[in-house]
Amino acid sequence: MNANVFTTTDTTFATDVLQSPAPVLVDFWGEWCGPCKALAPMLAQLADDYGGRVKVAKLEIDRNPKTALAYGVRSAPTMLLFKGGKVQATQMGLVSKSQLTKVIDAVLKLVGN
């Protein structure tokens, strides 16, 4: 895994994501999910591209069902972009890097980063 992409869990989610001073893009994924695996290199690129301005986290939904349930994640991959402990944007399914960039840029503009 890319050094700029970290793993979060039900136990560490509040500290890792909700209390983060930087926006955090969380990839809710499954080990069994082909599109999730296809998305992983793109997320690593985004983590590098936005280094320091946006963090990228992965949460494996089968091992961390509480967090996935709390945010209504019903399918993988689902990406939620958090800032200030709140969901600012949602993207479901396998999408292009440019689509994710648009979502991230819109949130960064919104929060003034």
Residue in 17, 36, 46, 59 annotated catalytic:
36
Q: What pLDDT, on a 0 to 100 scale, did the predictor assign at position 110?
A: 72
Alpha helices, DSSP H, located in 1-113: 13, 34-49, 65-70, 97-111
Cβ burial, residue 9 (10 Å; 0-12/13-18/19+) = middle
- What is the per-residue pLDDT for 2? 67
- DSSP structure class, residue 26: E
Residue 33 a catalytic site member: yes
Q: What CATH number was assigned to the domain covering residues 5-111?
A: 3.40.30.10
- What pLDDT score was predicted for residue 1? 54
Q: Supply the pLDDT for residue 112.
A: 60
Q: What's the confidence (pLDDT) of residue 68?
A: 97
Half-sphere exposure of 58 (CA within 13 A, CB side): 25
The tens place of each residue's pLDDT in the chain, 113 residues long, gives 567 799 999 999 999 999 999 999 999 999 999 999 999 999 999 999 998 899 999 999 999 999 999 999 999 999 999 999 999 999 999 999 999 999 999 988 875 65
The vertex-41 CA angle with 36 and 42, nearest 5°, equals 85
Q: Which of 5, 26, 33, 79 is catalytic?
A: 33
For strands 5-7 and 55-60, give the pairing: parallel
pTM score: 0.94
pLDDT of amino acid 111: 59
Q: Where are the domains of the chain?
A: 5-111
The SS3 assignment for 15 reads helix
Taking the C-alpha atoms of residue 17 and residue 86, their distance in angstroms, rounded to an integer, is: 9
Active site residue 72: no
